A and B are shown apart, each in its own frame.
Chain A
Amino acid sequence: MTTTEMMTLKTEPFVLNFGPVHPSTHGVYRMRATLDGEVILDIEPVVGYLHRGIEKLSEERTYSGFIPLTDRLDYISPMSNNLGYCLAVEKLAGIKVPERAEYLRVIIAELQRLANHCIAVGSFLNDTGAYYTPFMYAFREREKIVDLFDMVCGQRLTYNYMRIGGVSQDIPDEFLPALKKLVEQMSRWVEEYDFLLMQNEILLARTKGVGILPRETAINCGISGPVARASGVNWDLRKNDPYSIYDRFEFDIPQGETGDCYDRYRVRVEEMRQSLRIIKQAMNDIPAGTVRADVPHLIRPPKGEAYAHLEAPKGELGYYLVSDNSIAPYRCHIRPTSLINLTALREMVKGWKVADLIAIFGSIDITMGEVDR
């Protein structure tokens, strides 16, 4: 053995389990990370700790009885899940939704996007180590949105508001004034916090150029939502495959350039502004009328299959339903946004440090309820 060989310190990579019980795995996600000191060599995702068999459960329930279960998928944004499922059933059974219900759905879905991005931005900043301050502030703003949801459906977390052919009930009289106030407050809030955070040197250092997801990889992995748009993919189902009445509103699709954590954060903040724009237009145009089509409680859609997707806050959320003309779906498959967005994590974190792994993971914005179903 030569002197240099003796001098070199022998090091070897080691395996570290992040999760399933870990402060920043957003639930029960588990990563088996191979580390060389602080540097990530490889990660192996392990999912399934929250599997509840929701897809299978749908086969035991009536079409409308499955709606409450969709709340439990992405519990950060249950309204979008409700809506996605109802869109699929309506497509399957060919149900026309009343005008007022369409407007309500758009308003509620965009409010849900705001609420989701509050949590996404807040918990992402929490993952970069800002000790709970942005998190608590974001939750304070989300609380106001949740108050509105409470007003329309009486629930604060699992709403069960959308119905096949409309929504469960009309909004109370005080809803629209409250919504107007919220939109004003929220616009101010977005500007204020964006100003506070955008120029923070430590935040820039932690997020700029970190965890770059190239455009090609994003497309190849099937990434959707803000994560894909941050990588420069111009893909938003509200524009590319308009559902409900999104073709009537004016809004932009914000896009990033490099696809790093900072871009994902910026895209989310920008989307909040666009959501506010949509809500403003929708609440001015909302017509009077019924909020629910005349749909029987036990519907029997004709034999066939339907796939409906929508731009959920986290990305493309799809429901694939097969009907055998009974009161329950023959098969229901959910295209989960979080799980598919998570597939790019491995490519993004290789070569970065432990602290970056957490930041990148937080910037994807996942919900375990949706990953495991």
Chain B
Amino acid sequence: MATPELLIQNLPMQVVPPDWPGGYWWHWLFFTVILIAFVLTMVMGVIYIERRGLGRMQSRLGPNRTGPFGLLQAVADAVKVLLKENIVPDKADKLVHWLAPVVAFVPVLMIFAVIPFQNGALLADLNIGILYVVAISSVATVGVFMAGWGSSNKYSLLGAMRNVAAVVSYEMPLVLAVLGVVLIAGSLSMNQIVVAQDIPFILFQPLGFLIFFAAGCAEINRSPFDLMEADQELVAGFHTEYSGMKFAMFYLVEYAEAIAISAIITTLFLGGWRGPLLPPWLWFIVKVFIVFFFMVWTRATFPRVRIDQLMALAWKFLFPLALINLFVTAIQVLVWPDALPWIVIIINIAIMVILVVSWSKLFKLGWGRLNV
């Protein structure tokens, strides 16, 4: 049986610092602890931003009583939710109901294994990093569906079904948008993608960025695609029957997913940890917060789409545009590999504007038409 060290040494690329005391085991342990602490504190941070930001946008204050500026509200909520009774419905599938939050939470944590906080500062610099992210992030859906099915509640089931439909559809434009970045960077490794970004890829891939942002929002059920927990329709969607710590896990998953998507957007399009003056890890966190703020902004602005409109948007709008974007990028990489970056940037932004405007003229979200 191969030891983990051998496994890692067999990987083609190796950026893991080998001179640390204790070797790989120590590195893994250290980074795992850092990642869990990072995710949990970031969740508190983004919850604060979301609640206060939403409050400001909605002409109210938001939580401001607990701690200075309400900063400790998330702690108070966490303590409250820990002390709550754990209620399991009588007819629930007990095992599935219990397992679902764990199944949903673990993959989200695993995404952070390949997110670089600094040059080489990541748990595992897989040479297929972004592929790993795409593969792992879909697993959380299984947890959500287990929650919907195991709760034995019709609202939960409807919400879970919606989520599965959304994730299956939006995976396509998401992956196609990622491919554009991979073509330009010439690598699947998250760290290499960041290293390649002398100019942030959002300028080379404006259309790809928009598609990734929209599809990412749909994947993690941020508004306006938050159908799976549409509280006006389905009460709380898949976690209607969850309480106490298990509910907190789902709450955590929701925000950890938002951070994960923000971190992936930061890594792929915004130059990751790169930036002047500030230390790299701080740049990374600042960029994550900026991306997340845009998610809060869309949540405060848009009504929710209907399920058939959600599907139509994925397959009729985002998917063709993502395909075109991929072809255009491939041609650019093949034909003018050494073209001046600014010319390509201007061309790509022009292409994005023309495509989005003309396609949105062709495509209406359905305007009430309903094909059952």
Contacts and interface: CB of A to CB of B under 8 A. Distances in A.
A137 interface: yes
B368 A140 contact: no
Contacts of B54: 131-132
Contact of A202 (B233, B300, B303): B303
B303 A130 contact: yes
A207 interface: yes
A205 interface: yes
Contacts of A354: 158, 233-234
Contacts of B307: 38, 353, 355
A351 interface: yes
A351 B372 contact: yes
Interface in B283-305: 299-305
B364 interface: yes
Contacts of A130: 301-304
B299 A131 contact: yes
B365 interface: yes
A319 B57 CA distance: 43
Contact of A203 (B231, B303, B360, B369): B303
Contacts of B367: 204-205, 208-209
Contacts of B303: 125, 128-130, 200, 202-203, 206
Contacts of B368: 205-210, 260
A200 B302 contact: yes
Interface string B47-70: 000000010011110000000000
Interface in B341-372: 360, 364-370, 372
B364 to A, nearest CB: 7
A125 B300 CA distance: 12
B370 A358 contact: no
A133 B301 contact: yes
A66 to B, nearest CB: 36
Given A16-B154, A205-B365, A23 B232 contact: yes
Given A16-B155, A201-B365, A128 B370 contact: no
A264 B253 CA distance: 39
Given A38-B307, A205-B368, A210-B368, A129 B224 contact: yes
Interface in A23-48: 23-24, 38-39
Contacts of B154: 14, 16
A29 to B, nearest CB: 14
A23 B305 contact: no
A23 B235 contact: yes
A353 B306 contact: yes
Contacts of A357: 233
A22 B154 CA distance: 14
A86 to B, nearest CB: 36
B137 interface: no
B230 to A, nearest CB: 6
B169 interface: no
Nearest to B60: A136
A356 B306 contact: yes
Contacts of B366: 205
Contacts of A127: 232
B73 interface: no
A22 B234 CA distance: 9
Given A129-B303, A202-B303, A23 B370 contact: no
Given A14-B154, A131-B54, A133-B58, A353 B308 contact: yes
Contact of A137 (B58, B227, B309, B369): B58
Interface string B240-268: 00000000000000000000000000000
Given A136-B59, A140-B59, A205-B309, A24 B302 contact: no
Interface in A342-370: 351-358
A39 B161 CA distance: 14
6 nearest CB pairs, A to B: A129-B304, A209-B368, A205-B365, A136-B58, A130-B303, A24-B232
7 contacts: A129-B303, A131-B300, A136-B58, A201-B364, A202-B365, A207-B368, A355-B230
